[in-house]
Amino acid sequence: MGRLFGTDGVRGVANADLTAELALGLSVAAAHVLMEGPGRSPAVPEGRSADARAGAPEGHRPVAVVGRDPRASGEFLESAVVAGLASAGVDVLRVGVLPTPAVAYLTGALGADLGVMLSASHNPMPDNGIKFFARGGHKLPDELEDRIEETYRAHASGEPWDRPTGAGVGRVRTYDEGFDNYIAHLIGVLPNRLDGLKVVIDGAHGAAARVSPEAFARAGAEVVTIGTDPDGLNINDGYGSTHLDRLRAAVVEHGADLGVAHDGDADRCLAVDAAGQDVDGDQILAVLALALREAGRLRGDTVVGTVMSNLGFKLAMEREGVQLVQTAVGDRYVLEEMKSHGYALGGEQSGHVIVLDHATTGDGTLTGLLLAARVAATGRSLAELAAVMERLPQVLINVPDVDKSRVATSTELGAAVIEAERELGTTGRVLLRPSGTEPLVRVMVEAADIEQARSVAGRLADAVKSALG
């Protein structure tokens, strides 16, 4: 049986892969693991004894914050999660439909012992997922996820739970204040107001459908909305950060200064300038990096990206005197690098942007607000600001049904890569990356010319098939 936890929690088709029974069992397991004593879990505050599990009487009632995106399946999965936590002796604050970063923020701000978010992010509506946060609103490291999974499997196979009774069971209440608390936090960290800006917001019919427009409006912007009418079935359906066509058209139609697009759980942000041109995560990072450096808050004059960051981003940062540190693909690896070295800014081309002084995870609404604040503060258009970097043409080809384990050891493939790099010189880049979830290899080529990038990528894809097929 494969590992339940993927790169971002547990995901699957709701009521098929991700059932109510699984959601309940994982929640009970998470409650027990995250309430364990020092030396076992970094999520437990110093001073708690090894017996201080969920429901144990030590004058402390463990608390969990639970939120979800608007998917229809989130309704029954939320009920299962809440039931599991309460049965383990955890008091539950239900914050309702809020973005993932809002649940992370509230977990920390309210001093909760754990947070749970039900969402499958940018995935289609039939999918859903469960993501856990430890104390402080931080994502769980692999070792804690492994322990939760081991605990769940042990009890699913028949080992009985230690269940509290009477006054020891958890209590459940709705926490409607979470909406305003989160927005107040966002407004409070902005360096300046957005008065005079017109902004189009695409909420993907997701978790940011209410939050993002309200936050921008309270910050002073004139707001036009699309994709902000969720009905439980339309999340990510033709709207949001993976479908920018409607946002491009709306920005031009309304004469807006910029447009902002979120994904289903609003931990991402992509943008569109006044002419309807895309501004991706690398460009957003470039704009925010220079803004933070100007304010003296870009620690180490360093920004963190991934190996998929556009070469144009790297060249622009070098020109501006900013170091780019690159990690494996995945915002969790970006975050680990940032926390290890105290860096202030990092993210991915896909729009996950982490501003560590103000958030413990990628926050799409915060990113959009900070980007708009930079436009307002400088009086320069988003297009002008984003022009600090030139996006080099990037071609990505997925090569299926190959032995991805031999990417690093194949002599034939290594020779093909060396030849491609020689042809591209200093103005291009090659990356071969085995997929983490599928039997395929991703071939990525960047070059100053799109035709050259396509040609080199095609030849490398053929080399992958020949060497690894």
What is the per-residue pLDDT for 59? 65
Comparing CA positions, the residue from 153, 154, 98 lying closest to residue 131 is: 98
Q: H helices of 98-244, where?
A: 100-109, 142-156, 177-189, 211-218
Mean pLDDT of 436-449: 86
pLDDT value of position 314: 93
Residue 121 annotated in active site: yes
Which residue segments constitute the domains of the chain, with CATH numbers given?
A: 10-175 (3.40.120.10), 180-386 (3.40.120.10), 394-468 (3.30.310.50)
Q: How confident is the model at residue 37 (pLDDT cuts 50, 70, 90)?
A: very low
The average pLDDT across 235-259 equals 97
Please check the confidence at residue 34 and state whether its pLDDT lies above 70: yes
**What pTM value is reported for the model?**
0.89
Confidence of residue 1 (pLDDT cuts 50, 70, 90): low
Predicted confidence (pLDDT) per residue in 49-102, tens digit: 333 333 344 567 899 999 999 999 999 999 999 999 999 999 999 999 999 999
Q: How much is the mean pLDDT over the chain?
A: 92
Q: What are phi and psi of 279, to 5 degrees?
A: -125, 110
Dist CA 399 CA 30 (whole Å): 37
Q: Using the predicted structure, report yes or no on whether residue 48 has a pLDDT greater than 50.
A: no
pLDDT of residue 81: 98
Q: What is the pLDDT of residue 41?
A: 34
pLDDT digits (tens, 9 = 90+) for 159-205: 888 899 999 999 999 999 999 999 999 999 999 999 999 999 999 99
Q: Which of 335, 341, 340 lies closest to 360, judged by CA?
A: 335
Answer yes or no: is pLDDT of 141 > 90. no
pLDDT at 15 over 90: yes
What pLDDT, on a 0 to 100 scale, did the predictor assign at position 45?
33
Integer angstrom CA distances of residue 139 from 20, 145, 151, 205, 454: 23, 10, 19, 25, 38
> How many whole angstroms separate alpha carbon 328 and alpha carbon 306?
6
Q: What pLDDT was estimated at residue 50?
A: 32
- Cα angle 26, 361, 369 (rounded to 5 degrees) comes to 135
DSSP SS3 for 353: strand
> How many residues are recorded in the chain?
469
HSE-up (13 A, CA, CB side) for residue 317: 28
Strands 222-226, 198-202: pairing is parallel
Which pLDDT score is estimated for 91? Answer: 98
Q: Which residues are annotated as a binding site?
A: 121, 263, 265, 267
Distances (CA, A) of 255 to 17, 198, 258, 274, 407: 45, 8, 9, 7, 48
Q: 185 vs 105, 182, 268, 377, 391, CA distance in Å?
A: 9, 5, 18, 20, 33
**For residue 467, what are the contacts with CB-CB under 8 A and spacing of at least 6?**
406, 410, 412, 413, 416
Percent of the chain beyond pLDDT 70? 94
CB 116 within 8 A of CB 103: yes
Residue 49's identity, in one-letter code, is S
- Closest C-alpha among 141, 139, 45 to residue 100: 139
324-370 confidence digits (pLDDT tens):
999 988 888 999 999 999 999 999 999 999 999 999 999 999 999 99
pLDDT tens per residue, range 250-300: 999 999 999 999 999 999 999 999 999 999 999 999 999 999 999 999 999
| pLDDT attached to residue 437 | 62
Give the residue numbers of the binding site for Mg(2+). Answer: 121, 263, 265, 267
Options 73, 87, 121, 350, the catalytic residue: 121
Q: What is the pLDDT of residue 8?
A: 79
Give the pLDDT of residue 47: 33
